[in-house]
Amino acid sequence: MNKKRIIRGFLFYMLGLAIGTLGVYFLWLRNRPDLLSWWPGGRVKDKLLRSEWVYDDTYHCYRQCYALSDEILHQMIRDGKVRFGISKPRRSPCPIYVIDTRANHSPPLRLHVELCDSLATLYSIENLPGEHQPAQCSCVDKSY
């Protein structure tokens, strides 16, 4: 009899947990996709995509060399992986993030992007290490 009571209590607990989870989702999270990117890489990519970009000579040189459009660059950031091990997230005043991209766009690239408040600046683009080197750009990289 004690075993039935434990099973019944567990079933009520699971039912309450399921109802509570569905309630939280439908009341607070359903129309807020920005709340679902709570991993550090997702938050960085979300902030980069919402930032205003600085269109300087380096940016235009890399866009021309790799035949990138703003839409392709945003897709590469959205689908890419933030590499915190080689990024400089504690750099003051503006951190620099490294994003490896393996989107449908070829070749796979590594983006170096500086993020200051709501301004994003492209520092450099390079081919991923170990990949074939189809394009060699003579753009002047910014040093950091």
pLDDT tens digit sequence for 80-126: 899 999 999 999 889 999 999 876 666 788 999 999 988 999 888 88
Q: What is the dihedral of CA 123, 129, 135, 68, to 10 degrees?
A: -50
Lowest mean pLDDT among 1-10, 44-53, 97-106, 128-137: 128-137
Give the pTM.
0.71
Q: Beta-strand (E) ranges in the chain? A: 52-53, 81-82, 96-101, 109-116, 119-127
Q: What is the spatial distance between Cα 32 and Cα 11, in angstroms, rounded to a whole number?
A: 31
DSSP annotation of 89 = T
Residue 77 has phi, psi (to 5 degrees) of: -70, -45
Judge contact between 128 and 110, C-beta under 8 A.
yes
pLDDT digits (tens, 9 = 90+) for 36-49: 577 888 889 989 99
